[in-house]
Amino acid sequence: MDTNEKKILIFTSAAHYLTHLFILVFPALVMPISRDLAISPSEAISISFPMYLCYGILAVPWGYLSDRFGPRQIMGVGILIAGFGFIAAAIAQSINQLMVFLSIIGFGCSAYHPSGLALLSRGMSVRGRAMGINGLWGNFGIASAPFLAGVLAYWMDWQRALIVFGITGIIIGAVCLLAPLSVGRGDLQKSTSVDKRDAITLFIILCAAMLFSGIMYRSYTVILPTFFESKLTDLSSFISGIVGSSYLTPAAGTLTAAIISSSVYLLGMIGQLIGGRVADRFDLRMSYLLFFSCALPFLISLLFFEGPVLIILIGFFILFALGMQPIENSLVAILTPPQWRSLSYSIKFTIIFGAGSVGVHLVSFVKANYGLDSVIILLSSLLMMIIFMINILLYKSRGTSIKHKH
């Protein structure tokens, strides 16, 4: 990488980290918020629906603005807005106000993926590796969210925790606005060419796969801390007993679940690095299918095991379910023109996160009416639909190869 490529990777990775950290702070605080507001966890989860809806459906206007005015500027503005949203949410006086201010966070965070991934896909000479490293930092944000939110809520309270995140966003957003980097009009990464008409068809099929992927992604990220807190109560009690009986409180259970949730996401970081290397070496379609197929047995096995082994099973599910992202992002880049790359990624993330917001209600409804095991069945069904759509993609592009050139 030359100096400019290193700058692009550093600033996009920092922004990616904060975006995923910010958008997953709320699920880690569901239990203390539900206790403080005297509502059920299912009702507390539903408060975040507008945030995730804005996070998804507003990616398209951000993508247009990114192609029009420059991805670096849009990336910084988005993080800045999210920071102000956190501070507003911390001082909300009612549940309705909290929903509105959380929506501002979703609005700001929705700017990153169209802008940051456009910078990466156009400005890096080794796209897969760069996507993998960038994805690692996004997953580090996912892993940090339950831990940092849980620790801050344990030491302070959830309102003060939101203020800390808000100040961080304002500072980093301002730094990104001043970042000294540039990107050309075309792609530095060379790849196999796909006929324009075929590329449109394949992109539509890919979007269908990403639709189910988005619902599955949001569903498991929302439910994971609650899943661990519910399923591993003995472990929480054991850890609390080591610390001291005075700490055996509901907050200690929340903290334990937050730490475990963060730990399993670390495997997703490893998966991103593996996925990035795979994306640069092998056919992207087959690699995409492989990662999702490997995730399925680990997800289904959650129905048949109990205790600490659940941590291992979810960890490997996360490795494959998140590790495919550099492959998926590389597929989007090959199937779309550079001049509309931000808009292309905004379409992707509108589908993933917009449809994913439905996952918030799905999880809330299924958990409240049928229990946690039924949530696992729901996730497994969504994953099977993803694999089905990828097979259609393979069939429609049979006889061709879609991969990076070196």
Contacts of 160 (CB under 8 A, 6+ apart): 90, 152
Q: Going residue by residue through the chain (406 aa), what tens digit of pLDDT does each one get?
A: 778 888 888 889 999 999 989 988 887 787 777 777 777 777 777 787 888 888 878 888 998 898 888 888 899 999 999 999 999 988 887 888 888 888 999 999 999 988 988 888 887 878 888 888 998 888 788 778 877 887 887 787 778 888 889 999 999 888 888 877 777 666 665 667 677 777 889 999 999 999 999 889 888 877 777 777 676 665 555 555 545 544 445 555 566 666 777 777 778 888 888 998 998 888 899 999 999 999 999 999 988 887 778 888 888 999 999 899 899 988 998 888 777 888 888 888 888 877 777 877 788 788 778 777 888 899 999 999 999 999 999 998 887 878 877 6
Give Cα 161 distance to the centre of its chain: 21
Burial (0-12, 13-18, 19+ Cβ within 10 Å), 199: middle
| This prediction's pTM | 0.77
Helices (H), 341-371: 341-349, 355-370
Half-sphere exposure of 79 (CA within 13 A, CB side): 33
For residues 36 and 160, is the Cβ–Cβ distance under 8 A? Answer: no
